[in-house]
Amino acid sequence: MSLNEHDLEPPWKRRFRVDTIVSARIAVREPSRGLVVSNPTGVYQLHAWDVPTGRLSELTHESNGRLFALLAPDGRHVYSFVDQEGSERGHYVRLPWDGGPEIDLTPDLPPYTSLDLTLAGASPRGCFSYADADGYHVYRLDQLDTDGPVVRDLTTRDRPLSRPTLSADGAYLAVAVAQTPSRTYSSVVILDTDTAEEVGRMDADPHTSLQPILFAPAPDDPRLLVTSNRSGWLRPLLWNIRRDVYQGLLLGELEGDVVPLDWSSDGREILLRQWLRAEQQLYVYEIKPGRLRRLDHPSGSFGFSVSFFTDAGAYFSAPWRDLCLVERCRVCPPPDWARPQQWTADARCAERRHRSARPALAFGHLSIV
């Protein structure tokens, strides 16, 4: 039996070329459409994900690859940052989910560095921030669903800003503003996106940092998830910006950092991620009774940006590098072809069996084919 080039390659090299899903999302208002960032060709590219069939269609074909992207709530467009040959300076662009030419969203701005674009869930509005010699800027993008998006400089500050987040209707923007130039401590500021007026603020003591995470999904819902490190661990707070009242979540004796990842579509539940001793665990928090439920899924580390809610349950990237569906309180067991081979002591190479024969979607798992 002759050995091919792949068999002769050192196992440690093969390990670094294993297909990996680094990001995935399903459109909020069109759950049949999703977006995946993966590297089946060896370079990370954006892929349109047809959720019912599990089929992936490559959207970008760049030699340097592309990692950052957002999917529009209606699933029609993908938003991404394109830099100049790895310079990390460039512009945000929009491309159709089903393929087509890109549109530069900020053609009149000089190249900038930014990876914090955020979209309103129920409005064709977005925002992003970047810094230059003149300060820290937040820009508003309007009419994102048209061929001529409108760009507006919303605010400029002399202190560092966090990634902004928009309310579902795009009426309000939340951003953390550093209390010190070193970003050590920060407050959360709420801006009216039409007038740029500050309409709310959450301050903390001098040794606490607050970060806005995500507004509730309904357009008329004024609740905002915020994290605080006052206890020494990151902990979620639920802030009603209209009434200016907030409350902590009832987490009992739960240790480690606990960060909110997503809302359920009805705004009654919150998906949480606990991070303790290098392992991550998902929980669902029911707001009305104040009840915490631990989701049953494989232990380990499953990444930062892959966990999210759908009506079926919570998705997350599992240790075997497939996207798994946790149906409320149980995990769909992975099929045999989705599991890695046993790692050998010398190679520790997680290449999977039956690559050429396996289906694209089975048992709620998305896999690269």
**DSSP secondary structure, 120-157, as one string:** -TTSS-EEEEEEETTEEEEEEEE-TTSSS-EEEEEEEE
Residue 258 lies in a domain: yes
Distances (CA, A) of 212 to 190, 209, 267, 281: 10, 10, 17, 21
DSSP single-letter state for residue 339: S
- pLDDT for position 315: 63
End of a domain among 48, 74, 100? Answer: 100
- Bridge partner residues of 80 (DSSP): 69, 93
Name the residue with tokens 């892959």. Answer: 306
Q: Is a pLDDT exceeding 50 seen at residue 345?
A: no
At 72-111, the pLDDT tens digits run 999 999 999 998 777 889 999 999 999 999 999 999 999 9
Q: Is residue 351 part of a domain?
A: yes
Question: Quick one: pLDDT band at residue 314, thresholds 50, 70, 90?
Answer: low
Last residue of a domain, one of 65, 100, 135: 100
Q: What is the mean pLDDT of the chain?
A: 80
313 found inside a domain: yes
pLDDT above 90 coverage of the chain, percent = 46
**CA-to-CA dists, residue 141 to 111, 113, 123, 291, 364, angstroms:** 16, 16, 11, 38, 35
Quick check: is 303 in a domain? yes
Which helix (H) or strand (E) is 5 found in, with range?
Answer: helix 5-8
Q: Give the three-class secondary structure for 20.
A: coil
Whether residue 185 is contained in a domain is answered as no
pLDDT band at 242 (very low <50, low <70, confident <90, very high): very high
In a domain, 123, yes or no: no
Contact 114, 104 (CB under 8 A): no
Give the C-alpha separation, 165 to 177, whole Å. Answer: 13
Tokens of 10: 């050192």
The C-alpha atoms of residue 35 and residue 176 are separated, in whole angstroms, by 28
Whether 154 is covered by a domain: the verdict is no
Q: What is Dmax (Cα atoms) for the chain? A: 74
- Using CA atoms, how far apart are residues 186 and 38, in angstroms rounded to an integer? 34
CB 59 within 8 A of CB 47: yes
Give the pLDDT mean for 150-178.
92
Whether 61 maps to a domain, the answer reads: yes
The domain tally of the chain equals 2
Percent of the chain exceeding pLDDT 70 equals: 78
What's the chain's Rg over C-alpha atoms? 21
What confidence tier does 114 reach under pLDDT thresholds 50, 70, 90?
A: very high
DSSP summary character for residue 209: B
User: Which of 66, 81, 100 lies at the terminal end of a domain, its last residue?
Assistant: 100
| CA–CA distance, 246 with 223 (Å, rounded to integer) | 9
pTM, two decimals, is 0.81
Q: What would the pLDDT profile of 32-64 be if each residue is shown by its tens digit?
A: 999 988 888 888 999 999 988 888 899 999 888
Q: 241: number of CA atoms within 13 Å, CB side?
A: 29
Q: Which residues pair with 327 in a beta bridge?
A: 330
List, in sequence order, every residue forming a beta bridge with 286; answer none if it has no partner.
269, 291
167 Cβ contact partners less than 8 Å away, ≥ 6 residues apart: 120, 173, 174, 215, 219, 222, 224
Phi-psi region of 303 (alpha: psi -120 to 50; beta: other; left: phi over 0): left
349-366: per-residue pLDDT in tens?
A: 223 322 322 222 222 333
Cβ atoms of 302 and 316 within 8 Å: the answer is: yes
Spatial distance between the Cα atoms of 70 and 60, rounded to a whole number of angstroms: 14
Give the domain extent around 336.
Answer: 249-369
